[in-house]
Structure 1
Amino acid sequence: MIKMKPERNSEMSMADLRKKIDVIDAKLVRLLSDRAKITQHIGEIKTKGNKPVYAPDREKKVFDKIKGLNRGPLSDESLVAVYREIMSGSLKLESQPVIAFLGPEHTFTHQASVQKFGHSVDYSPCQTIGDVFKDVENGRSDYGVVPVENSTEGTIYFTLDSFIRSDLKICAEIVMRIKLDLMSKENSLKSVNRIYSNQAVFGQCRKWFAAQMPGIDLIPVASTAAGARMAASEKGAACIASGIVSKENKLKVLARNIQDSVSNTTRF
Structure 2
Amino acid sequence: MSENKEKNLKKLYSINEKILELLDKKSILLENEPSLNSFLIKQKLLEKLNLNNYKKLDTKYINQVFNEIYSNSFFYDNEKIVYLGPEGSYTHEASINLFGTNNNYYSVNSIKNIFFEVEEGRAKYGVVPIENSSNGIVGDTINCFDNYNLNIIGETVLDIHHTLVSNCSKTQDIKIIYSKDIAFDQCSIFLENYHLNEVKYEYVDSTTKAAKLAAQTPNSAAICSKLAAKTHNIPVLFESIEDKKDNKTRFLIISKFENERSNNTKTSIIVKLPNTQGSLINFLNDFKKAKINLNKIKSHIVKGISTFFIEFEGDKNDKEVQKIIKKHNSHIKVLGSYMKQIEDI
Deviations 1:197-237 (A, max 9, x none): 12332232244445543354322222211111101111222
1:114 aligns with 96
Does the Cα contact within 8 Å between 2:83 and 2:91 map onto a contact in 1? Answer: yes
Amino acid at match of 2:20: V
- Which has a greater percent of strand? 2
- Which of 5, 29, 36 aligns to 2:20? It is 29
Deviations 1:114-169 (A, max 9, x none): 00111222111112222222221222211011222111122221121112111112
1:71 to 44, 50, 55: 55
User: What TM-score, normalized to structure 1?
Assistant: 0.79
Aligned residue in 2 for 1:50: none
- 2:115 aligned with 1:124, yes or no? no
Structure 2 equivalent of residue 54 of structure 1? 39
TM-score normalised to structure 2 length: 0.63
Check conservation: 2:89, 2:227, Cα contact below 8 A: no
* Amino acid corresponding to residue 228 of structure 2 in structure 1: V
Distance across 1 between alignment mates of 2:179 and 2:68: 30
Match of 2:229 in 1: 246
Secondary structure of 2:197's match?
coil
Contact 1:184 1:254 in 2 (8 A): yes
Aligned-pair distance for 1:76? 5.5
In structure 1, which of residues 210, 230, 234 is the aligned counterpart of residue 217 of structure 2? Answer: 234
Aligned equivalent of 1:199, options 171, 181, 198? 181
Offset at residue 41 of structure 1 (A) = 6.4
CA apart distance, 1:258 = 2.0
Q: Which amino acid aligns with 1:100?
A: V
- Find out whether 1:261 has 2:260 as its counterpart: no
Selected match of 1:179 from 161, 165, 179: 161
1:181, distance to aligned residue in structure 2 (A)? 1.3
Tell me how far apart the structure 2 counterparts of residues 21 and 255 of structure 1 sit (CA, whole Å).
35
Cα RMSD of the aligned pairs, angstroms, is 2.8
Runs of 5+ in structure 1 lacking a partner? 1-6, 47-52
Tell me, in whole angstroms, the C-alpha distance in 1 between the residues paired with 2:103 and 2:226: 23
User: Deviation at 1:106?
Assistant: 1.5
- Structure 1 CA distance for aligned equivalents of residues 168 and 223 of structure 2: 14
What is the aligned partner in structure 1 of residue 296 from structure 2?
none
Name stretches of at least 5 consecutive residues in structure 2 with no aligned partner: 252-345
1:154 maps to 136
Residue 71 of structure 2 corresponds to residue 85 of structure 1: no
User: How many Å separate the matches in 2 of 1:191 and 1:58?
Assistant: 52
Check whether the contact 2:27–2:74 (CA below 8 A) recurs between aligned residues.
no
Identity over the aligned pairs, expressed in percent?
Answer: 29
Residue 238 of structure 1: how far off its partner (Å): 1.2
> Would you say 1:218 and 2:209 are equivalent positions?
no
| Aligned twin of 1:165 | 147
Deviation at 1:250, TM superposition (A): 3.8
Distance in 1 of aligned mates of 2:6 and 2:217: 52
Q: Greater shift after overlay, 185-194 or 24-33?
A: 24-33
- Measure, in 1, the Cα distance between the counterparts of 2:209 and 2:245: 25
Number of aligned residue pairs: give it.
249
Q: How far, CA to CA, are the matches of 1:22 and 1:255 in structure 2?
A: 37
Q: 1:169 to 1:255 in 2, by over 3 A?
A: same
Verify the 8 A CA contact 2:30 2:36 in the aligned structure 1: no
**Aligned counterparts of 2:4 and 2:188: Cα–Cα separation in 1:** 56
Asked if 1 retains the 8 angstrom alpha-carbon contact of 2:91 and 2:128, the reply is: yes
Q: Deviations over 1:23-44 (max 9, x none)?
A: 4444333333433454456642
Greater helix percent: which structure?
Answer: 1
Residue pair 1:195, 1:219 contacting (<8 A) in 2 also = yes
Give the partner amino acid of 1:255. F
- Matching of residue 190 in structure 1 with residue 172 in structure 2: yes
Which SS does the other structure have where 2:98 is aligned? helix
**Structure 1: how far apart are the matches of 2:201 and 2:49?**
42
